[in-house]
Chain A
Amino acid sequence: RKEVEQDPGPFNVPEGATVAFNCTYSNSASQSFFWYRQDCRKEPKLLMSVYSSGNEDGRFTAQLNRASQYISLLIRDSKLSDSATYLCVVNAHGGHTGFQKLVFGTGTRLLVSP
């Protein structure tokens, strides 16, 4: 089983739509969680951290369910510029090294059309 699993999509939505992405992780010791955005052939960029209490940043809302080991991202009022791949990322200690280690999902591709 992959450490971080996401539906690869693509999700094709019209402008203005609301779309939700889900992600599950397997390591119950994971400590922090993020959503990154990656545009084609570019590096990933942090979109938002995910907190247990849920958090919102403009049109984006992220939620975490530790009991179910499940993370979600909701995008409201989709814009054309939201088209990208959204990566679910989990941070866990890197085993014996003690260093943090980011584990990336394969990403969910979003295509917003006019």
Chain B
Amino acid sequence: GAVVSQHPSRVICKSGTSVKIECRSLDFQATTMFWYRQFPKQSLMLMATSNEGSKATYEQGVEKDKFLINHASLTLSTLTVTSAHPEDSSFYICSARETSGPSYNEQFFGPGTRLTVL
């Protein structure tokens, strides 16, 4: 299957700082990428859908000014958590969807980024 990478895999930061997470599709092009968040013992919750060359679509209750998404190319989307607070500590996972080929429409998940805000 297709490969999606995320960087960093783990980040610890101080309250009030901003953190950028990168999501890359390594061997395919993805016009659409998705950002999820998972708190302990809870399900993955979709935060936003990232579309290459246009604005991201945010789910209800997700602050677009706090979680900045940039999808500047067909292989890279970034999520920036601005002014992070301890309640933003979570497991952030991206996924990318192939737009052509045998796995068309299947979502491939990155390995996740564990954010801890002190």
Contact = CB atoms under 8 A, between A and B. Distances in A.
Interface stretch (B42-50, B65-73, B74-82): B42-50
A97 B60 CA distance: 13
B49 A94 contact: yes
A43 B46 CA distance: 14
Interface residues of A, number: 20
B85 to A, nearest CB: 22
A97 B112 contact: no
Contacts of B35: none
Interface in B80-118: 91, 93, 95, 97, 105-107, 109-112, 114
Q: Interface residues of B toward A: which range? A: 20 to 34
B43 A97 contact: no
Contact of B109 (A41, A45, A105): A45
A8 B43 CA distance: 10
A43 B23 CA distance: 13
Nearest to B112: A43
Contacts of A103: 46
Nearest to A106: B43
B25 to A, nearest CB: 14
A43 B36 CA distance: 11
B44 A104 contact: yes
Nearest to B109: A43
A47 interface: no
Report the 7 A-B pairs with minimum CB-CB distance, sorted nearest first: A43-B109, A104-B43, A106-B43, A104-B44, A43-B112, A97-B57, A43-B111
Given A87-B44, A104-B36, 14 more contacts: A41-B112, A43-B111, A44-B109, A45-B109, A94-B57, A99-B32, A99-B49, A100-B105, A102-B34, A102-B95, A103-B46, A104-B43, A106-B42, A107-B43
